[in-house]
Structure 1
Amino acid sequence: MLALLSWFCQAIFLVVVVYFALYVLLELRVFLISRKVEQRKLMELAHSSSGAQTDSWPSVSVLLPIYNESEVVERLIDAVCNFSYPAGLLEILVLDDSTDGTTELARSRAEQHKARGVEIRLVKRRNRKGYKAGNLVNGIQQSCGEFFAIFDADFVPPADFLLKTIPCFEDPKLGFLQTGIGYENRDVSFLTRFQAMEMGHQQYVTVGLSEDGDMASLSGSSCVWRKQCVDALGGWNASTVTEDVDLGYRAQFGEWKYAYLRDVVSMSVLPETVSAYRIQRERWGRGLIHSAFKHVKQMLSQRMPLIKRMHAISTMFSSALLASIYVLILLSLPLTYLMHFDGAGMRWGALIFFGLVVLWGLENAFGARRGARLEGSFNVLKSLWDTYRYIAMFLPMAWYYFAGGVRALFGVYGDFHRTPKGREGYRASSPRINSVLLAGELFTFFYSTTAILVALQRGNYILIPLDVTVCVGFGMVLYWSWQEKVRIGVGRKGNP
């Protein structure tokens, strides 16, 4: 029985390693393409004009889906009302699903801009059916633009956003366009810096995917959609909590083109509390994994070259891969206990896995710094330590995605919780899933600690680097959780 269990654990381990190897090689290919694009742009003459010119500008509807965003809604409205665009061709719809004082703030600020001639309306629904997806569907039904520019509440786009993006749609097959995203609070803590780097890496890789014509998973904010494309696809689907990714997949399967403009940057705000971060990432993991399995049959039925199909699989199932890394964490203890890695297959499998992690970590960290536009002095030792912590942070994220994947497996698709941004956290009470994820962090930390002790006792050291890194990653988020709890306790004492 133990032999059968050992064989089963080894098989799963090797399958995940092979899957990870293919992913790393594909991402490295795209990374090199991104590098070439960047070098080419540096050699080209910089365009000093405020944006490309076109003979006739189309009408644009700016959609602002908001829900209880009192801290940021006014600056968002101010930013989009300052857009440079021909008069009479721009309308702004504030799609307000709020249940707190956000509505009055949004209405007051909208009226101020309307008084100076801006075409802006506040659209209020009776209920939140379909959450953000339902809000957007309701909004486009009341809009009149040929294109939709969409911004979440925490975004601040530049005034020339439309002047730089709309001319790209002269290609009638271009269905949607994504722009770059910067983060104004990225240096508040290592948690915010990690998020900025991780999403910066995604943006950097997307440059290569776009250049090569490969499938990409794009954000649903700071983007522009062609109305004809949205109508042809039937709009946003409320059956998934990542409705933006779902619509992007359907567009690409429908042979609509997409474009990615990394140099057009809207500023945003990252969650600064670990509770907000973990809940956000569980939701993302749940939605992304659900979307991947929802569309995999359609993707496989598409006619495309092998390399593009491999990139499509890599993109769609990258979240499932991250979740599978948590399976490796769970396997570390039984593998350490049941076997001594005497077999060449497992020994080489473990060594290859760690080699791939180093390669991926260096490539990822470099792309992350470029994508997040991080600058400053370079210290070798500090950079190595920060890179190690950066890699370690993906292990708690693997747990969040694993939990999200399990929930998706059991049909939990629509459990949506707004992500508080900046210093705002779940002040009154956090969603129940936060306690579940925190309990999983505690369990995993002590589980991996046990695996280290067993490895030392049995002289079976090969998986210790994985378990130590798990303890570092989960130790960081547990420490931040303790700090957050202390701050909340101090705040309550100060505000009886």
Structure 2
Amino acid sequence: MWDAMVIFSTTVIWTLLLVSIALVVAGYIYYLKWASKPLPELNDQDAPFVSIMVPAHNEGIVIVKTVQALLNFNYPHDRYEVIVINDNSDDDSADLLAALQRKNPTRNFKVINTDNITGGKGKSNALNIGFKSAIGDVIAIYDADNTPEPNALRYLVAELQQNDEYGTVIGKFRTRNKDVNLLTRFINVETLSFQWMAQAGRSQMFKLCTIPGTNFVVRRSIIEAIGGWDEKALAEDTEISFRIYKMGYRIKFQPAAVTWEQEPQTVDVWFRQRTRWVKGNIYVIVKNVKLLFDPTAKRIRFDIFYFLSTYFLLLTALLMSDIVFVMSVSGYVHVTVPGFSNSLWLLAVILYVLSVFVSITTEKGEMKWGNILVIIAMYIIYTQMWLIVALKGMYLYIKESVFHLESSTKWYKTQRYK
């Protein structure tokens, strides 16, 4: 039995590692093609009206900086509005936003203040509330902790206008507080490698991307057609991506559109955030697994397999691997295929480090020896952290969705820092 567990876990992990390497290669090809092309241009006279929506719950620490960045976009000022949904906040957000409105009386800047009756039910509900007041033909979404670069919106909208097949255009997000500690360095490498591997790589190979939840634009007609955001979905970005693809649209990745966001600086905050992500993504998988057998959903079958493999196969393989390792070190079991296992694990570590490092070399200032050490530490530490998060997320999903022991339609607050 123990040998079978070793063979199973090694096979699964290696298969997914090879898929990741293929995505890194494809992502790098995407990067080279993108870097060789001129950036999309926007004619100000033809610029569509954009409604920027910012769902916010107790975001007083960061909301002023975010709104100021949005109001300073290099986009015709009479062609966009900013709508902040101050959703059932009990901090000083309302006062801060009111002061911003007084300082910007000539701008299209709206604040929607909700209470625990009209709001307070999570990001998706807040977006649906904001959408009712939005007048733009294009909808843009930014999280409350974002500081987008001045041209971000311009590049997103210009790309959207390039092709009618694009239902959504997503930008790139960077870690604003990456140098705070080892955890934020892990997150910085993770986000960069994810975007150039899972986003750019999938786009190159399968013309697939997943909406990241912030720094993206979507056609208003799409939101109207799908009836808004699913208020049961914690991972509303992944959920809406599947529905957009099922409509026949594509999602385009434009790396020139950059926003800087604040990431968790402590393990407990990170743990709560990522547990919510896992639980939300499991909801999306369960909701859409039937599309594997739907002829109209051929385009997104790879993504369904990708998510299934990550949250079920990989989780099982890592768990088995850890159990065998602990039992063998303790002397309770003896594995008869140590050469097979050890040699492949060493090679897996090397390939993992190289593939992740290649993916982050696309970013200026990230090609440094220190990041190799960070990636090695990620393989040893961060993978095990993710395993615990994935197990907790799955437990909470079963607890809430199967046994209905708790309500999941509420805000899950990520701590902010000055």
Larger C-alpha radius of gyration, 1 or 2?
1
2:69 equivalent to 1:75: no
2:175 equivalent to 1:183: yes
Residue 417 of structure 2 aligns with an amino acid whose one-letter code is G
Distance 1:321 1:384 in 2: 27
Q: Is the 8 A contact 1:215 1:312 kept in 2?
A: no
The verdict on how the C-alpha distance between 1:420 and 1:396 changes in structure 2, with shifts beyond 3 A counting, is same
Distance 1:415 1:142 in 2: 22
Distance 2:77 2:375 in 1: 48
2:250 equivalent to 1:257: yes
Shift in Å, 1:58: 1.6
2:306 equivalent to 1:314: yes
> Could you state the TM-score of these two structures normalised by the residue count of structure 2?
0.88
- Which of residues 43, 57, 66 in structure 2 aligns to 1:53? 43
Question: Equivalences for 1:29-428 in 2 at 5 Å?
Answer: 29-42=22-35, 44=36, 51-53=41-43, 56-97=46-87, 98-113=89-104, 115=105, 117-127=106-116, 128-170=119-161, 171-205=163-197, 206-302=199-295, 309-310=301-302, 312-315=304-307, 317-324=309-316, 325-334=318-327, 337-342=331-336, 344=337, 348-349=340-341, 351-367=343-359, 369-370=360-361, 373-375=364-366, 378-379=368-369, 384-392=372-380, 393-411=382-400, 413-414=408-409, 416-422=411-417
Distance 2:19 2:236 in 1: 26
Name the structure 2 match of 1:25.
18
Structure 2 segments unaligned to the other structure (5+ residues)? 402-407
Shift in Å, 1:135: 0.3
Instruction: Report SS of the residue matched to 1:91.
Output: strand
Distance 2:335 2:204 in 1: 43
Distance 2:354 2:160 in 1: 36
Name the structure 2 match of 1:461.
none
The verdict on how the C-alpha distance between 1:82 and 1:16 changes in structure 2, with shifts beyond 3 A counting, is same
Q: Which moved more, 1:123-132 or 1:134-143?
A: 123-132
- Percent identity (aligned): 19
Shift in Å, 1:157: 1.3
Distance 2:361 2:311 in 1: 22
The verdict on how the C-alpha distance between 1:86 and 1:27 changes in structure 2, with shifts beyond 3 A counting, is same
Structure 1 segments unaligned to the other structure (5+ residues)? 1-6, 424-496
Q: Could you list the per-position Cα deviations for residues 161-183 of structure 1 after superposition, in whole angstroms to 9, with x for gaps in the alignment? A: 23211122232231111101112
The verdict on how the C-alpha distance between 1:332 and 1:410 changes in structure 2, with shifts beyond 3 A counting, is farther
The verdict on how the C-alpha distance between 1:107 and 1:370 changes in structure 2, with shifts beyond 3 A counting, is farther
Distance 2:264 2:220 in 1: 31
Q: Is the 8 A contact 2:357 2:372 kept in 1?
A: no
Name the structure 2 match of 1:426.
none
Shift in Å, 1:333: 3.0
What is the aligned-residue RMSD (CA, Å)?
A: 2.6
Q: Could you list the per-position Cα deviations for residues 24-53 of structure 1 after superposition, in whole angstroms to 9, with x for gaps in the alignment? A: 2222112111222223344x3655x8x333
Question: Equivalences for 1:2-21 in 2 at 5 Å?
Answer: 7=1, 9-21=2-14
Distance 1:164 1:370 in 2: 22
Q: Could you list the per-position Cα deviations for residues 372-423 of structure 1 after superposition, in whole angstroms to 9, with x for gaps in the alignment? A: 54436x44xx555333212122211221111111211233544642111336
Residue 127 of structure 2 aligns with an amino acid whose one-letter code is L
Aligned length: 404
Distance 2:8 2:365 in 1: 35
Distance 1:56 1:45 in 2: 22
Shift in Å, 1:274: 1.9
Residue 182 of structure 1 aligns with an amino acid whose one-letter code is R
Distance 2:256 2:33 in 1: 14
